[in-house]
Structure 1
Amino acid sequence: MIWLTFLPAGLTLALGVVLGVAQLPLHPAWSARLLATVAATTVVATIGTLVFITVNYAATLFPRAAGQLPEWALFGDDQPVPAGLGIPAIALTCLSVLTATRLSSRWAAEVRDARRTSQEVVESDVPLALAVPGRGGEVLVSRGLLRMLDGTQLQVVFQHEASHLRHRHHRYLALGALAAGTLPLLRSLNTRLRFALERWADEDAAEAVGDRTLVAHTIAQVALARSSPEPAALPFPAFTDSGVVQRVQALLATAPDKNTITGPVILAGAGLGTGLLASAAWQLDHVLGLTFL
């Protein structure tokens, strides 16, 4: 078999791990897009590699059936895949599929429950605001939040949640949750993605109300009033979710550059590079014409 087949998955996974700890000098909007893109391509490259090895191991076990498979689905050197590699690949492929199915089912159920709840104010003293995705989008708020904030502060909250809905941040969250669930090494990347999405909505709210200090104070006030932190596994962002202290500090500082040139360039470069790696994950040996171990 071609050991270079592992290269695309290894490179994208390494990049995902690095982005999970590195500070990105980009506007939160571009940071979130970059992190989500790398999360998606890493999952595709890694799962694709596992499936590729699984198919080739099955061809090793059943050589007659292998003749029915297209050439691109098989390693170029026709060498048998050892059981020490094939069996773990089968197990990890099945585990990844089960994990993705479980996460998707839980996500759908939680979104349905939130949509039903968002039709009315939540009768709770805990200050809470959530952006609930769906047709038109909804914002779920609690009675405690409405009592605690004045009209100007409520505008901050609704502008923040409107940003989540307008930019469909729930899709980014779904990608991050899927990546972290199937590839534990990407949990830090998922954490940074959630933070970047909150910062993106913070900056949109600050631009809409024209007062960064007001947004910072509102976030801090709501966070301090909560008796418990936001659940880490929410399928959609809450107003005080992810890194409140860092978000307040960022809002009290100068507004970040919007990276109108560097942002698209970096995102396009990363997307093209990791996308090519992900597409090559299934047949790198055929792409490069290599036949060595």
Structure 2
Amino acid sequence: MTWFTLAPPAVMLALGTLLGRAPLPLHPSWTARLLATTCAMTVVTALGTGVFMSINYAATLAPAAAALVPEWTLFGDDRPVPHPVGVPAALLTAAGALVAGRTAARWAAELRTARIQVREPLETDVPIAVAVPGRHGGVLLSRGMLRGFTAGELHVVLQHETSHLRHRHHRYTASGAMAGALLPPLRPLSERLRLAVERWADEDAAEAVGDRAFVARTIAKAALAHPPAAGPPAAFAESGVVRRVEALLDSAPDRNTVTGPLLFMGNGFVTSSLTGATLHLDHAAAAFLLYLLSLR
């Protein structure tokens, strides 16, 4: 192996760290797409690097067993993986796979519970509105939301939550949560992604309702009605609501019909290229082509 083996995950981690701290001058929809792509590709790159390093370390320990794995999974220079590199790589890869599995299992359990609860309002005075994705999903509301909000405010809430469902925002937040769970330096990126997704739904609700100030007041009312341990003002300040309300009280953001797609495609090209290099996709494609030629 060479230093290039670790270059793609290092670049991806640096890119994710930068995007987690530098605000993007884009519409929330494009920001969410770009950040979600970065999160997903970084996770695949990190785990892929660990898997391939572990395979090559195993081949170093047992050269005879290398014949049991495809040639494209082995490093091209045939250099052995040293113990100080191979042992941490194997341990971190196993730990990462465990974290990913537990995270996915927790999501599945929460989703099953939410799909059961969505059949009727939640019995709580706390105003709650949650978009439950899937065929048997919908918008889950609480009794407190139905009793404490006017018809116009409920319309705002439903427009916001249906935006989450329509655009499948759970996939965006899932990629961010997985990145934050596997790679702690990317937790700010995950938080920024969640904010972008909420801002996207806010803008959809504001466009549907036609009154940005009213949408802002509704969001603030829902945040202040939650009773956290530190009091309602803390909930208002710590949940990203301040930035969401400030954005809604400002003019609508530009749709970025040109810059948004260009930046998204540029980011996708860079991240997918790095991920492809990590997974040895070029070697896999060459091996597959040679296999097809051998059949002729």
Does TM, normalized by the shorter one, top 0.5? yes
Alignment-derived partner of residue 274 in structure 1: 271
CA shift in 2, pair 1:284/1:127, >3 Å: closer
Distance 1:136 1:112 in 2: 10
Q: Report the structure, 1 or 2, having the larger helix content.
A: 2
Distance 1:6 1:98 in 2: 22
* Cα deviation, residue 143, structure 1: 1.1
Distance 2:115 2:238 in 1: 19
Contact between 2:276 and 2:282, CA under 8 Å: does it hold in 1? no
Contact between 2:49 and 2:279, CA under 8 Å: does it hold in 1? yes
TM-score (norm 1): 0.91
Alignment-derived partner of residue 242 in structure 2: 245
Distance 1:103 1:97 in 2: 10
Please, which moves more after superposition, 134-143 or 117-126? 134-143
Alignment identity in percent? 59
CA shift in 2, pair 1:110/1:285, >3 Å: closer
Contact between 1:48 and 1:282, CA under 8 Å: does it hold in 2? yes
* Cα deviation, residue 125, structure 1: 0.8
CA shift in 2, pair 1:283/1:3, >3 Å: farther
TM-score (norm 2): 0.90
Contact between 2:39 and 2:175, CA under 8 Å: does it hold in 1? yes
Distance 2:16 2:262 in 1: 19
Higher normalized contact order (CA 8 Å, seq sep 6+, divided by chain length): 1
Q: CA offsets, 1:219-257, max 9 Å, x none?
A: 11111111128xxxxxxxxxx994011100000001100
Alignment-derived partner of residue 7 in structure 1: 7
Q: CA offsets, 1:16-61, max 9 Å, x none?
A: 0001111010000000000000001111111111111111100100
Distance 2:264 2:153 in 1: 34
Counterpart AA for 2:258: I
Q: CA offsets, 1:118-143, max 9 Å, x none?
A: 11011211111111111163111111
Dislocated runs of 4+, deviation >3 Å:
282-287
Contact between 1:127 and 1:226, CA under 8 Å: does it hold in 2? yes
Alignment-derived partner of residue 237 in structure 1: none
Contact between 1:129 and 1:141, CA under 8 Å: does it hold in 2? yes
Distance 1:106 1:197 in 2: 21
* Cα deviation, residue 70, structure 1: 2.7
Q: Please, which runs of 5 or more residues in structure 2 have no aligned partner?
A: 230-236, 285-296
Alignment-derived partner of residue 294 in structure 2: none
Equivalent residues in 2 for 1:36-115 (5 A)? Answer: 36-115=36-115
Alignment-derived partner of residue 197 in structure 1: 197
